Amino acid sequence: MSEAADKQPEAEAPRPERRPRVFSGIQPSGTLHLGNYLGAVRNWVDMQETHDCVYCAVDLHAITVRQVRAELRRNTIDLVNLFLASGVDPERSIVFVQSHVPAHAELMWILNTITYMGELRRMTQYKDKTAEAEGESIAVGLFDYPVLMAADILLYRADAVPVGEDQKQHVELTRDVAERFNNAFGKAFVVPEPIIRAGGARVMSLDDPTKKMSKSAGSENSYVAVMDPPDVIRRKIKRAVTDSGAEVRGGPDKPALTNLLDIYGALAGEPVADIERRYEGKGYADFKADLGEVVVAALTPIQARIKELEADKAYTVDVLKTGADRAEAIASRTLAKVRERVGLVPRP
Ligand code: TYM
């Protein structure tokens, strides 16, 4: 009998009472910005109402680019504090650090054996990140990074993966790899769906609306950092580039205003058309002044809560300890099933 025909029952017995599960992660690789908040964290918070959620600081992804040891440690804790301060509730959701659960790296190895070089070479993020590098000095980890991401998601048998637009291709690769594994070895994985929420899925740079807002590229004025003080936020929004013309209106010919209106709408929870209507007859200066206040109002409470968390370091450590234990319990079950499917002898 071929291995493909040797299909076995589902890895986890169906649990009718189980809510759909979500997995998502963010790299602790420096300044968190409004794009990360709107594209990811804000949706993570909302999804707690409807899903069982697993949220992760993906430190093994961060080291695909050289990090400074002390900064990586601090950034990892800061990122977890941002999750908590934004409303991720560790009583309801699992919050943990990727490298605390070794199953991620182990599953990655197994998935490496069924992922194709051609698939990874086609990843836009890989192409962007290596555009200027010499072929011989591109780290294998940078190339292989989407396979680690697939392992993250598949270990938790996640049904849904809330991400910004830029990560959609990686989730699609994850789906392909999961299906390939299930077909070749018998079902072990849930095939996950990307969840990309319309407003804020692709926040663009403030000084160049053709590029996405990013922590690695561009000047300080290209992004609003989650921790920027109010006067800095106001200044950055004021300096944001605008389009020719004077009307506060979005559209394909107005990439800068489209971006600013999207940010406004996403933060204020208001349809862009309503905002455009309110600013009829008013100019860019009025709109930007108000947008500055909308951003300040959204980020100030998060910043205050982060300060509180920083004053009680033991709390975050405790969250991470519980989170790693709970994550490991799920991950180790999936990994045991995968090992069995592949034919690895169980440890006696
Ligand atoms: P990362 O750390 O680059 O980004 C974290 C999240 O922020 C979103 N994002 C944006 N959303 C809107 N506009 C922007 N300008 C913007 N910039 C970033 C990203 O889409 C992402 O949702 N590979 C992932 C991390 C990862 C992961 C995972 C995600 C590792 N394993 C498993 C989901 C599931 C990354 O580098 O994201």
Residues 114-166 pLDDT 10s: 999 999 999 999 998 888 777 778 899 999 999 999 999 999 999 999 999 99
Question: Which residues does ligand 1 sit against, CB inside 6 Å?
Answer: 23-27, 35-36, 38-40, 58, 61, 149, 152-153, 161, 163-164, 166-167, 170, 201-203, 212-214
pLDDT of residue 1: 39
Average per-residue pLDDT in the chain? 93
Phi, psi of 64 (to 5 degrees): -70, -15
Is residue 147 within 8 Å of residue 174, measured between CB atoms?
no
SS3 state at 195: strand
pTM of the model: 0.92
pLDDT of residue 219: 86
Q: What is the DSSP letter of 186?
A: -
Domain ranges of the chain: 21-195+313-342, 220-310
User: Which of 163, 168, 216 to probe ligand 1 with, by most ligand atoms within 8 A of CB?
Assistant: 163
Q: Rounded to whole angstroms, how far apart are CA atoms 278 and 68?
A: 47
Average pLDDT value for residue range 232-252:
95
Question: One fold for both 21-195+313-342 and 220-310?
Answer: no
* Residue range 220-310 in CATH 1.10.240.10: yes
pLDDT of residue 266: 95
H or E element that contains 194: strand 193-195
* Residue range 21-195+313-342 in CATH 3.40.50.620: yes
Is residue 195 within 8 Å of residue 206, measured between CB atoms?
no
Q: How does residue 16 score in pLDDT terms, banded at 50, 70 and 90? A: low
pLDDT of residue 269: 93
Average pLDDT value for residue range 84-88:
97
H or E element that contains 97: strand 94-97
Residue whose entry in the numeric block shows the structure tokens 């690769």:
173
Catalytic residues: 129, 212, 215
Ligand 1 atom index nearest CA of 61? 30
Q: How does residue 4 score in pLDDT terms, banded at 50, 70 and 90? A: very low
CA of 36 to the centre of ligand 1 (A): 7
pLDDT of residue 2: 43
CA of 85 to the centre of ligand 1 (A): 18
Average pLDDT value for residue range 81-95:
97
pLDDT of residue 47: 96
Q: Please give the distance of CA 302 from its chain centroid, rounded to a whole number.
A: 18
Diameter of the chain measured on Cα atoms: 76
Residue nearest to atom 37 of ligand 1 (CA): 26
pLDDT of residue 8: 47
Strand partners, 54: 23, 94
Ligand 1 atom index nearest CA of 201? 12
Residue 7: pLDDT over 80 = no
